[in-house]
Chains A and B, each alone.
Chain A
């Protein structure tokens, strides 16, 4: 151990009696049945294929989770109805007294620009 604080020193070895004690314990353990079968743990431990399959499953589930969460946050659209999204015009903002920063941060306002479907009457308050 040159160049270390432990030069010329070493940890004490095990007591001589320990060998017999350990081997006696080993012979008792070797006659006992091995640990209860944990089939899947053993497979994961010993088989590279099983580990790869497990990893692939985890990745697949993570990807599916991301996709589903992404799909859940999308706006629902009705068929045939397309909202035209428009910001209030600058003049309109000034008219209604919107603070410009608030106006920039506020969600875009939707106005229904499509004509009403044939035969349908628009609500009275819009007439």
Chain B
């Protein structure tokens, strides 16, 4: 992927392309109580974490709560941060767990989604329509499959990494992606929901 494409795609993909050393350094500074590091971490990772939480919870309000919870937990556990070796995977895992905690607290696994899960990269009416259609199809998927798709195609993780983030075996992660894609294709072919 070219740098121009990354810039066009915005902070989401730039976060994925960021070197781990910068993030590790941010975590070390956060562990030392440097509050500015929280802002830097937010700028670098919030887009990705928010997207993951949105696709898991299906609500922008819940996704915002999850992102806030993740950053607060980071500070509460700041003694452990210097030992974190893969900051991005660590943050994605924290987001996954915080989203599940939030859904459990509210006593629901999932509910019909009313949020737009996708937006067009460029302002194009045809793309806008496609984004709406795809959002509706995604809304019909189980949250775990939606989450696996997000991690695969937007966070660009391997199946093994998806497994580590979501706490399932690699095979399960791959099978979630495969099932979700099959359902999306079937829905696209049928013109309806999966």
**B3 within 8 A of partner (CB):** no
Bound complex: CA A1 to CA B5 (Å): 10
Indicate if A124 sits at the interface (CB-CB under 8 A): no
Is A25's CB within 8 Å of the partner chain B?
Answer: yes
**Least CB distance, A80 to chain B, in whole angstroms:** 59
Pair count A-B, CB < 8 A: 120
State which of B50, B82, B119, B134 has its C-beta within 8 Å of the C-beta of A5.
B134
The answer to the question of B167 belonging to the interface, with a C-beta cut-off of 8 Å to chain A, is: no
Is A115 engaged at the interface, CB distance under 8 Å to the other chain? no
At the interface, is chain B mostly helix, strand, loop or mixed? helix
Q: Mark A51-94, 1 if CB is under 8 A from B, else 0.
A: 00000000000000000000000000000000000000000000
Q: Whole-angstrom distance from the CB of A36 to the nearest CB of chain B?
A: 10
- Judged by a CB distance under 8 angstroms, whether A99 is at the interface is no
* Chain A contacts for B127, CB-based, 8 A: 8-9
Contact A34 B79 (CB under 8 A): yes
Query: For residue B77, which residues in chain A have a CB less than 8 angstroms away from its CB?
Result: 34-35
Which residues of chain B are within 8 angstroms of A32 by Cβ–Cβ distance? 76
Q: B142 CB to closest chain A CB, in angstroms?
A: 17
Decide: A10 near B68, CB < 8 A? Known: A5-B181, A5-B188, A34-B79.
Answer: no
Q: How far is the CA of A5 from the CA of B47 in the complex (A)?
A: 20
Q: State whether the Cβ of A96 lies closer than 8 Å to any Cβ in chain B.
A: no
Query: With an 8 A cutoff between CB atoms, is A123 at the interface?
Result: no
Residues of B within 8 A of A (CB): 9-12, 33, 35, 38-39, 42-43, 46-47, 50-51, 54-55, 60, 63-64, 67-68, 71-72, 75-80, 82-83, 116-122, 124, 127, 130-131, 134, 150, 153-154, 181, 184-185, 188
